[in-house]
Amino acid sequence: MFDFDVIIAGGGPGGSSTANFLRQKKRSVLVLERARFPRFHIGESMLPFSNDIWRELGVFEKMNERYIHKPGAKFIHEESGAEFTYYFDSAISPGRPYAFQVKRAEFDQMLLEHAESLGAEVRQESKVERVDFNPDGVIVHVSAGDKKYSVTAPMFVDATGRDAMMGVERNLKEPDGMVTTNAAVHCMYQNIDRSTGADEGNILIGLFNGGWWWLIPFNDGDTSVGMVFEKNFTKINRGASSKEMMDKALEGLPHLKHLMRDAVPVLPVGAQGNWSYRCKQFYGDRMLMVGDAAAFVDPLFSTGVLFAIHGAKFAAEHIDRALTSGNFAAAEFANYQTQCQSGMDLFKGLVHEFYSESLRNVLMASAVNPTMCAVITSLLAGDVYRPALWQGVVRKKGFSQLIDMKSIPGVKSSRQTKAPAAPQK
């Protein structure tokens, strides 16, 4: 009656992981990807609690051999020079001492090819033009070059990333008004002054008045550098090119400028915008949204792929049950959104506190409070999907309320005073 059990639009980590999980359940899957892999993509820094999913997908060993290990996250306060490194092996739940730094072009291709090796049918350079949702199934209309055709299935998965095909079509996307960033510029470089030894794979995150920057190292010597700007900065510099914005910001960032003193770009400077949003509903009759197609939280803590692959696992479980029962009504998928949001909401609160200033100070001063340090480390590691007492406390009170900020000498707004220096581990 149908061409496939499930048709997935999008071959990124969310789409390929959903296909992988569905193939493990012996379901027939078609993945339609509009681009030809490999293709450039930002979002290169993984989190340790993704490792559990990589093992379930059967790609952990390959990643462990291929990619540089990321044992922690180092935060640098540009105005004061204070710095502090959170090491993942000090998280509340042990056993995940590192994550990976990956170039997304080759990484996404590896995930997609792995799903294909499990029996998923993959068609690249195939764009989903329209989906007809009928009581007895879905009809997906595809264009591939000058060829147009249709395929059918009981279920459709939107994994189209921040294009959010169904969210846009159904007017479901809602921006996160509390996040004050709206633009980022980024580039790939050689000859960056990077950490050495055991810290070689750490991500560096710089905090400055007007935004933050990242520095992500790769095994081949290349380094990803990007800057995320708050709205006031982009408003002042309206009309500037991506490179002009990056160069201007760099002049006021002495620590990053020093690390980049001999840098040689290997790609043009790129730009991204409109960071944070969430669809009001992640599901419908015969349809689920996975990963960025459902929601995107500010990239400050490298959560995009974590959310995508956990969403893929949840989606495959719901779809498998629906295929077994034959019930594809939207109400059957409501718990899928609850599962996805359980992790998203914790990070969303973290991001909101960061941009409201309080968490900037806590991040730089948490060495004075080992409990707070362990809580933040656990979140930075991606431990957000399992019920835990500390998660409930954070959701209820927020981070800055868990410690007495007055007990930290010199801690005020990071815009008004220098952050206190914090000893490295």
Q: What is the pLDDT of residue 355?
A: 77
Q: What is the mean pLDDT of residues 21-25?
A: 98
pTM more than 0.85: yes
Tell me whether residue 348 is in a domain: no
Radius of gyration of the chain measured on its C-alpha atoms: 22
Query: Do 48 and 135 have their domain in common?
Result: yes
Tell me whether residue 39 is in a domain: yes
Q: Which of 297, 312, 343 is the last residue of a domain?
A: 343
Tell me whether residue 425 is in a domain: no
Q: What is the pLDDT of residue 424?
A: 42
For the stretch 38-58, pLDDT in tens is: 999 999 999 999 999 999 999
Q: What is the pLDDT of residue 357?
A: 66
172 or 349: which carries more pLDDT confidence? 172
The two three-digit tokens of residue 284, written as one number: 């419908």
Q: Which of 77, 85, 91 is nearest to 423 (CA)?
A: 85
Tell me whether residue 421 is in a domain: no
Query: Do 51 and 133 have their domain in common?
Result: yes
Q: Which of 294, 321, 343 is the last residue of a domain?
A: 343
269 or 349: which carries more pLDDT confidence? 269
Tell me whether residue 114 is in a domain: yes
Given a cut of 50, whether residue 413 has pLDDT beyond it is no
Instruction: CATH number of the domain at 231, please.
Output: 3.30.9.100
414 or 402: which carries more pLDDT confidence? 402
Q: What is the pLDDT of residue 176?
A: 80
How do 99-101 and 68-70 pair as beta strands? antiparallel
Instruction: CATH number of the domain at 333, please.
Output: 3.50.50.60
For the stretch 347-393, pLDDT in tens is: 888 888 887 766 777 777 776 677 778 888 998 999 998 877 667 77
Q: Which of 341, 336, 353 is nearest to 295 (CA)?
A: 341
Q: What is the pLDDT of residue 123?
A: 98
Give the whole-angstrom CA distance, residue 77 versus residue 421. Answer: 9
Query: Do 171 and 61 have their domain in common?
Result: yes
Note the Cα 116 to chain centre separation in Å: 23
For the stretch 228-250, pLDDT in tens is: 988 777 777 778 899 999 999 99
Q: What percent of the chain has pLDDT over 90?
A: 67
Q: What is the mean pLDDT of residues 128-153?
A: 97
Q: What is the pLDDT of residue 367?
A: 66
Query: Do 96 and 109 have their domain in common?
Result: no
pLDDT, the chain, mean: 89
Give the whole-angstrom CA distance, residue 185 versus residue 245. Answer: 8
Given a cut of 60, whether residue 418 has pLDDT beyond it is no
Given a cut of 70, whether residue 221 has pLDDT beyond it is yes
Query: Do 15 and 134 have their domain in common?
Result: yes
Q: Which of 287, 322, 343 is the last residue of a domain?
A: 343
Least confident stretch, 122-131, 230-239, 398-407: 398-407
Tell me whether residue 81 is in a domain: yes
Tell me whether residue 133 is in a domain: yes
Bridge partners, 265 (sequence order): 189
Tokens 């359980």 label which residue? 342
Q: What percent of the chain has pLDDT over 70?
A: 90
Query: Do 97 and 108 have their domain in common?
Result: no
In this prediction, residue 181 has a pLDDT band, given cuts at 50, 70 and 90, of: low
Given a cut of 70, whether residue 405 has pLDDT beyond it is no
Query: Do 25 and 108 have their domain in common?
Result: yes
150 or 179: which carries more pLDDT confidence? 150
* φ, ψ for residue 75, nearest 5 deg: -105, 135
For the stretch 300-327, pLDDT in tens is: 889 999 999 999 999 999 999 999 999 9
The two three-digit tokens of residue 55, written as one number: 């093992």
Tell me whether residue 416 is in a domain: no
Query: Do 162 and 308 have their domain in common?
Result: yes
Given a cut of 60, whether residue 31 has pLDDT beyond it is yes
Query: Do 113 and 11 have their domain in common?
Result: yes
Q: What is the mean pLDDT of residues 138-149?
A: 97
State how many domains the chain has.
Answer: 3
The two three-digit tokens of residue 47, written as one number: 């989190």
Q: What is the pLDDT of residue 400?
A: 64
Give the whole-angstrom CA distance, residue 372 versus residue 90. Answer: 11
Give the whole-angstrom CA distance, residue 317 versus residue 307. Answer: 16
Query: Do 55 and 150 have their domain in common?
Result: yes
Which residues constitute the domain of residue 375?
Answer: 68-101+356-407
Query: Do 368 and 263 have their domain in common?
Result: no
Q: Which of 124, 117, 162, 116 is nearest to 142 (CA)?
A: 124
Query: Do 57 and 160 have their domain in common?
Result: yes
